[in-house]
Amino acid sequence: MTLQYTSSEMMTVTAARALSNGMTCFVGIGLPSEAANLARLTHAPDVTLIYESGTLQTKPDILPLSIGDGELCEQALTTVAVPEMFRYWLQGGHIDVGFLGTAQIDKYANLNTTLIGDYQSPKVRLPGGGGAPEIASNAREVFITLKHSPRAFVEAVDFITTLGYGRDGKGRDGVPNIGRGPTKVITDLCVMAPDAETRELTVVSLHPGVTQEQVREATGWPVRFADELALTPEPSAEELAILRDLKARTAEHHAKPISQEAAQ
Amino acid sequence: MAQFMSLHDAVARYLQDGATVAMEGFTHLIPFAAGHEIIRQEKRGLTLIRMTPDILYDQLIGAGCAEKLIFSWGGNPGVGSLHRLRDAVERGFPRKLEIFEHSHAAMACAYEAGAAGLPLAVLRGYIGSDLPKVNSQIRFIECPFTGERLAAVPAVRPDVSIVHAQRADRKGNVLVSGIVGVQKEAVLAARHSIVTVEEIVDDLQADANACVIPGWAITAIAEVKGGAAPSYAHGYYPRNNSFYKEWDAISRDRDTFNDWLQQNVYNAGGQA
């Protein structure tokens, strides 16, 4: 029997599978958080999730709306101050993978969450770097997940908030004490990985039913495909059930009205 | 020792026009009541510091209190943009806002350096980022021992830091529990500090390892029940996620925002 699933579900399940059991993961909010928690609830029960609000080894029952939701703290092994989080745990070298989302990514996997246009007079002002600039350099490797579109996948980002491989693909060469950088980019159409030599993001796996033409149309540079292009495995019935359950209880929780006296 | 006073008096006494002000709280324990008091007292020319300027700073910026912003992530968490902040940055309304933009790691280190009385913070940061090109506060130094190139940022030393916490005892010792953010560092880095608390109690009932800021390290304490809403106070009330979502529509339009401000801040009175 063929399973019915959406391209978003395909993306989340594929991103979740990128995490191995036992890994220590510094989790970004949004899509990475959804994928990391799905991994924890399926094949990677002993993945350690860390959020920049200071929550260490957390196991939220619902997905946080924001990075500092109480749920993350209540379900954590412990919660530390934010300076400790960045100085000891991240900079100290305890993070296997930084899992990030972004607004814009370019062909060398540089991330832009700062602005579209010129810095002094931006067309669109975005929230900014947050934890990402140092997560991307201090974690051993970086996974990125975002939806594929020509606006998001651009030849060169307007602003490098967070280093991928730099403007020429050589941005990490010779830099001491830096992680490997982005090793996987997971979208709703495909999985990309940096070329071993040039570091240019290359499609290594297509999701079922997706054509090369679709990926080309959604990518803002002449995208290359690996010689041995894989077909991404479909989500399992169990993964889909657990993901849908997680999203349903999250939606229900966040829609709950708060009593007036507490809300004022 | 900390003085107990009303929020109105604490803001009136310690926060002057043109001051450098940090109001912290990492999603949790955001001092909304204190921010609204600043708006009501029509403070002007402030330099606002905050790792995650969210709705509260959107309100202060939209109300015209701020001249500069030092920050590392300016958005409505889980929702999207801060429209009053964007209006100020993109179109200079209600006035041009100068921004000094950092990463979280740098801001956290800068608060810690401020608390430690050091002039700067050093971190392995900003590698390959364009942020140092647009923020003159980000520089690089060479480690005198290894020669490694490291980022340096100036310590955060606010004139006034304001935080919200769960409880204070009658001697002014303050308990912060849950996500503790950079609240302690913000208080210790500042010349003056104002702490609003949910309640004043005889006994803090603090665990041995709880985050307690001693009263002798705090300038003023004001009891403000619900002082962090619509953010939350762990153990007291949850985050009002619906209001964060509603804020998007309120803040998008200048007139809608001004009506909201009139009704919910200027006409809300606050505490005498």
Tokens representing residue B243 in the block: 């209001």
Contact A68 B179 (CB under 8 A): yes
Of residues A128, A130, A166, nearest to B128 (C-beta): A166
Residue B215's identity, in one-letter code, is: G
Rounded Cα distance, B167 and B173, in Å: 8
Rounded Cα distance, A43 and B242, in Å: 33
Do the Cβ atoms of A29 and B77 come closer than 8 Å?
A: yes
Rounded Cα distance, A258 and A173, in Å: 51
Burial status of residue B7 (CB atoms within 10 A of its CB: 0-12, 13-18, 19 or more): buried
Residue B167 has a CB neighbour count (10 Å cut-off) of: 23
What distance in Å separates residue B80's CA from the closest CA in chain A?
Answer: 8
Contact A66 B105 (CB under 8 A): no
Rounded Cα distance, A7 and A234, in Å: 11
Mean pLDDT of A165-187: 98
pLDDT above 60 for B253: yes
Catalytic residue among A52, A71, A134, A239: A52
What pLDDT, in 10s, does the model give residues B37-70? 999 999 999 999 999 999 999 999 999 999 999 9
Contact B123 A91 (CB under 8 A): yes
State residue A122's pLDDT score: 87
Mean pLDDT of B173-184: 97
Give the pLDDT band (50/70/90) at residue B167: very high
Burial status of residue A55 (CB atoms within 10 A of its CB: 0-12, 13-18, 19 or more): buried
- State the alpha helices, DSSP H only, in A69-224: 70-74, 82-84, 132-138, 212-217
Give the list of residues 6+ apart from residue A101 with CB closer than 8 angstroms, or none.
Answer: A28, A29, A30, A31, A32, A144, A145, A146
pLDDT above 60 for A258: no
| DSSP 8-state class, residue B266 | G
pLDDT above 70 for B73: yes
| DSSP 8-state class, residue B202 | S
Chain A hits for B179, Cβ within 8 Å: 53-55, 68, 70, 72-73, 79
State percent of chain B over pLDDT 70: 99
Nearest CA in chain B to A89: B105
Give the pLDDT band (50/70/90) at residue B165: very high
A259 vs A22, A72, B241, CA distance in Å?
Answer: 40, 22, 12
The secondary structure of A126-163, three-state, reads CCCCCCHHHHHHHCCEEEEECCCCCCCEECCCCCCCEC
State residue A105's pLDDT score: 98
What pLDDT, in 10s, does the model give residues A4-31? 999 999 999 999 999 999 999 999 989 9
Q: What is the mean pLDDT of chain B?
A: 96
Q: Which residue has the tokens 């370019």?
A: A106
Give the mutation candidate from B103, B148, B260 for the A interface (greatest A CB count, under 10 A): B103
What distance in Å separates residue B16's CA from the closest CA in chain A?
Answer: 27
State residue A67's pLDDT score: 85
What distance in Å separates residue B135's CA from the closest CA in chain A?
Answer: 11
pLDDT above 60 for A262: no
Give the mutation candidate from B56, B72, B101, B104 for the A interface (greatest A CB count, under 10 A): B104
Rounded Cα distance, B136 and A44, in Å: 43
Rounded Cα distance, B35 and B223, in Å: 15
Q: How many residues does chain B have?
A: 272
Of residues B90, B148, B185, nearest to A125 (C-beta): B90
Of residues A79, A81, A159, nearest to B182 (C-beta): A81
Contact A64 B182 (CB under 8 A): no
Do the Cβ atoms of A243 and A11 come closer than 8 Å?
A: no
Q: Is the ipTM of this complex over 0.90?
A: yes
Give the list of residues 6+ apart from residue B133 with CB closer than 8 angstroms, or none.
Answer: none
Do the Cβ atoms of A40 and B168 come closer than 8 Å?
A: no
Give the mutation candidate from A26, A112, A134 for the B interface (greatest B CB count, under 10 A): A134
Of residues B74, B111, B124, nearest to A91 (C-beta): B124
Rounded Cα distance, A58 and A43, in Å: 17
Nearest to B86 by CA among B268, B257, B262: B257
Do the Cβ atoms of B31 and B163 come closer than 8 Å?
A: yes
Tokens representing residue A31 in the block: 């899509």
Burial status of residue A256 (CB atoms within 10 A of its CB: 0-12, 13-18, 19 or more): exposed
What distance in Å separates residue A36's CA from the closest CA in chain B?
Answer: 17
Chain centroid to CA A241: how far? Answer: 21
Contact B239 A69 (CB under 8 A): yes
pLDDT above 70 for B271: no
Rounded Cα distance, B248 and B55, in Å: 9
| Residue A34 annotated among the catalytic residues of the structure | no
What pLDDT, in 10s, does the model give residues A25-70? 999 989 999 999 999 999 999 999 999 999 999 999 999 988 888 9
Question: Beta strand A141-145 with B66-71: parallel, antiparallel or unpaired?
Answer: unpaired
Of residues B103, B127, B211, nearest to A129 (C-beta): B103
B37 vs B10, B88, B182, B224, B227, CA distance in Å?
Answer: 10, 21, 22, 11, 11
